[in-house]
Amino acid sequence: MITQTPQQIWLIIAGMAIVAPLVLWPEATGGQPDPARLSAALVTIILGSLTRNTLIAIFGGGVTLFGLLYLIG
Amino acid sequence: MSLSKSKTPVRAGIRDALPFILVVAPFGMLFGVVGSEAGLKLVEVMGMSVLVVAGASQFAALQQMLADTPTLMVILTALTVNLRMAMYSASLTPHLGEAPLWKRAFAAYLMVDQSYVMAITKFETEPEMTLSDKLRYYFGTMILITPVWYAATLAGALLGKAIPPELALDFAVPITFLAMVAPMVKSLAHLAAALVSVTLALALAGLPYALGLLVAAIAAMITGALVETAMARGQA
């Protein structure tokens, strides 16, 4: 079994499985992939991996989302 | 995630939880909006948020109810989506297992992804914490999140369509999960598990009753275990 960090792998697995369809096929756009949402997800992942800081990742993702929604509508 | 250095555990919990309010609020509002637009009465929407306190699971149940799914299947779907809570509980048992039953029951009621992540991170970085400090910290993380969740659901249900779609409430969920998960991916086993989970969740998204989620989670867990075993063997 997973020995290093057994607890956290469940959050990774469940989180990714729940999130994947929401990112790729958001209901808000009628299930069509949306550049603003895809970019926001990507920025959140990159910032989260680089900084290991949840707060920075949330802010970065939020700014990207609203910025792009404003720019490209 | 980064943890605060506050002196009392309750305050540390409250502080660490603050950023999550940014995402819990829109998620709760979204549930209120969707629930009331789906024809649930105010008391029903609120009842769900107060009794279940589990965003993703509530949405899954709501979708099934709208599709006229038999009640038993609605319950099973909601349980599947929240199956991870059983794993969270198991992993917190070494830390909180000695607490009296009523405290553990209350902790279980308040268990959400956020409280779990904060608690396990804190308990692992500060193993010298006493049981009562651990409990104080755990409950501290939910002191603000819980009322915000109730209030946001209420606001969403009352405001309904008055909330502009530009607010993109729907995306609070993916951003929270990704922001919690990304910092946790620390090994090849984690990465492999995450990739299998995403791939299968997408490929099996059409399956009813959240079965795709269940299959994806099991396959991802096996993948993670296999990769880790292989890596350990490579090092030996």
Show residues of chain B in contact with A14, CB under 8 Å.
83-84, 197, 213, 217
Show residues of chain A in contact with B177, CB under 8 Å.
15-16, 18-19
Q: How far apart are CA B132 and CA B178, in angstroms?
A: 31
Residue with tokens 């904060």: B118
pLDDT digits (tens, 9 = 90+) for B49-71: 888 887 778 888 887 787 778 88
What are the two backbone dihedrals, phi and then psi, of residue B150, each rounded to the nearest 5 degrees? -60, -50
User: Which residues, other chains included, contact B175 with Cβ-Cβ below 8 Å and sequence gap of 6+?
Assistant: A40, A41, A44, A57, A58, A61, A62, A65, B23
Q: How far apart are CA B161 and CA B158, in angstroms?
A: 9
Q: How far apart are CA B23 and CA B19, in angstroms?
A: 8
Length of chain A (residues):
73
Residue B206: strand, helix, or coil: coil
pLDDT band at A33 (very low <50, low <70, confident <90, very high): very high
Residue B145 and residue B112 in contact, taking contact as beta carbons nearer than 8 Å: yes
Residue B193 and residue A13 in contact, taking contact as beta carbons nearer than 8 Å: yes
User: Residue A57 is nearest to which of B170, B178, B190, comparing CB atoms?
Assistant: B178
Question: What DSSP string describes B65-106?
Answer: HHTT--HHHHHHHHHHHTTHHHHHHHHHHHHHTTS-HHHHHH
Q: How many inter-chain contacts (A to B, CB under 8 Å) are there?
A: 187
B114 touching A (Cβ < 8 Å):
no
Q: How far apart are CA B169 and CA B32, in angstroms?
A: 11
Show residues of chain B in contact with A48, CB under 8 Å.
178-183
Is the CB of A12 less than 8 angstroms away from the CB of B179? no
User: Residue B180 is nearest to which of A5, A13, A15, comparing CB atoms?
Assistant: A15
What pLDDT does B19 receive? 85
User: Which residues, other chains included, contact A59 with Cβ-Cβ below 8 Å and sequence gap of 6+?
Assistant: none
Q: Which helix (H) or strand (E) holds B196?
A: helix B188-203
| Residue B105 burial by Cβ neighbours in a 10 Å radius (0-12, 13-18, 19+) | exposed
Residue B210 and residue B67 in contact, taking contact as beta carbons nearer than 8 Å: no
CA distance B225 to chain A (A): 5
Residue A4 has pLDDT above 50, yes or no: no
Is the CB of A10 less than 8 angstroms away from the CB of B91? yes
User: Which residues, other chains included, contact B8 with Cβ-Cβ below 8 Å and sequence gap of 6+?
Assistant: B136
Show residues of chain A in contact with B1, CB under 8 Å.
52-55
Show residues of chain B in contact with A22, CB under 8 Å.
170-171, 173-174
Q: What six digits make up the tokens of B141?
A: 């993380």
Show residues of chain B in contact with A52, CB under 8 Å.
1-2, 183
What pLDDT does A3 receive? 42
Question: Nearest Cα to A8, choosing from B92, B137, B58, B214?
Answer: B92
Q: What six digits make up the tokens of B227?
A: 């990769």
What pLDDT does B10 receive? 95
B183 touching A (Cβ < 8 Å):
yes
Is the CB of B197 less than 8 angstroms away from the CB of A22? no
What pLDDT does A2 receive? 40
Residue B197 and residue B216 in contact, taking contact as beta carbons nearer than 8 Å: yes
Residue A7 has pLDDT above 70, yes or no: no
pTM, whole model, 2 decimals? Answer: 0.80
Is the CB of B224 less than 8 angstroms away from the CB of A2? yes
Residues of chain B with pLDDT under 50: none
* Angle, CA of A55, A46 and B216, to the nearest 5°: 95
